[in-house]
Amino acid sequence: MRAAIVGVGFMGWIHYLAYQASEQAELVAFCSRDEKKRAGDWRGIQGNFGPPASQIDVSGLATYSTLDELLQDDSIDLIDICLPPHLHIDAVEKCLAAGKKVLCEKPLALTGAAAAAVAAKAQPGQLLVAHILPFMPEFRLIAEAVEDGRFGKLLGGSFKRIIGPPDWIPDFYDPEKVGGPLMDLHVHDAHFIRMLFGMPTSVFTRGRMRGETPQYFESTFSTSDPDVVLSACCGVIDQSGRGFTHGYEVHFKEATVRFEFAAYSDGSTSLIAPVILHADGSIEHPELGDGDPVKSFVLELDAAARAVDQGEIHPALCSQVAADSLRLCDAQLESVRTGKPIEISS
C-alpha cells in the first residue's frame, strides 16, 4: 500500500516512524504548508512519547504544500490525515470526494453528529479511523480476551488517562479546535469501551471545568446488562511534575486483568505490567514485548494496508465505531454540564 501523510506534527512524526518499520505500508509522499518541513527539517515537533523528531531524508518522497495538490497524485492508495482535530472533517470530505481511501487520526471530528455525517458519506471501507489503543499490547490483550471468551463473561472495568499541563498542544481547551481532555484523551477509552461493551445506554459524569470544557472528570456508564459495572476517569492535573498515566482494571467472570503505566517529568516511570488474576488464585504475567510504542502504530498501519489491499476492515478502524465513541463523549459533556445522567440512543 502506497500512502501519503497530510499534516507534519507529532502524530505525523509517529506515523512516519511506523511507515519506516512496516512491511505492508509504504510512505511515498507527504503534505505540509511548512517549507522547512517539506525540506525534511522536522526537529521542531514536540510530543509526549517516542523518540524526538529529527531531520528526515525526503529524497525518495513526493512533497506537496496543499491537500489539493496531493489529491492529484493517482499513485497514492491511502491518504493518512494527521492534521489538528478541527481540520479533520474538511480534509476527510475532500479526500472522499476525490475517491481516495482515508485513514484519519482520532478524533474523526469534534462532535458525534459531525463524525456520523462524514462516515455516512464514505463508501464501505473507504474511511478508516486511527484509534491506537486496540493495537497496543496491553489493550489488545483485553480485546482478544473479550473476543475469544478465554476469561468468561465480561463484567466491567475502570479506565484512567491523566496528564499534566499539555503545553505542546496549542488551543488544547478550545472546544472548536481540540476539545480538551474529553476529545483528545478520553476518546481513546470511550472508543475502547464501545468496542468491548457495545454502546452504553446512559452515562453520568462529574468534573472540574475550564470554561466550557471539562478539565478533569469521572464517568460511570450503564449498559443493557445490569451485571456490568463500568467507569472511567480522565483529565489534566495542573502540576508540571504530573506527567502521564494510563491504565485499567477489567473484570471477567474467571479473571481480573490489571495494568497501569506512568511517565513523570524527570524522565522516571512506574509500571504495573499487565497481570492476570485468575479466579482459582493463580496469577499470570503475560509477556507482551519490549514496550516500544511505535510498534503498535506499525500494527495499525498494517491493518490499514490490509483494508486497502484486501478489503479486510479491522474493528478498531471502523468509522461507525469511531463516530459512536464521539457520541459517547458528547453525552459525557452534556452530563458534566447539566449535572444529570444522560440517556444514549443505540
Q: Where are the domains of the chain?
A: 2-130+300-311, 134-297+325-343
Residue 292 in contact with residue 21, Cβ under 8 Å?
no
Superfamily (CATH H level) for 2-130+300-311: NAD(P)-binding Rossmann-like Domain (3.40.50.720)
pLDDT at 290: 84
CATH class for domain 134-297+325-343? alpha beta
Reported as half-sphere exposure (CB side, CA atoms, 13 A), residue 143 has a value of: 18
Cβ burial, residue 9 (10 Å; 0-12/13-18/19+): buried
pLDDT tens per residue, the chain (346 residues)?
999 999 999 999 999 999 999 999 999 999 999 999 999 999 999 887 889 899 999 999 999 999 999 999 999 999 999 999 999 999 999 999 999 999 999 999 999 999 999 999 999 999 999 999 999 999 999 999 999 999 999 999 999 999 999 888 889 999 999 999 999 999 999 999 999 999 999 999 999 999 999 999 999 999 999 999 999 999 999 998 888 999 999 999 999 999 999 988 888 999 999 999 999 999 999 999 888 899 999 999 999 999 999 999 999 999 999 999 999 999 999 999 999 999 998 7
Partner residues linked to 30 by β-bridges: 5, 63
Q: How far apart are CA 220 and CA 233, in angstroms?
A: 9
Task: Please indicate whether the domains covering 2-130+300-311 and 134-297+325-343 agree at the CATH topology level.
Answer: no
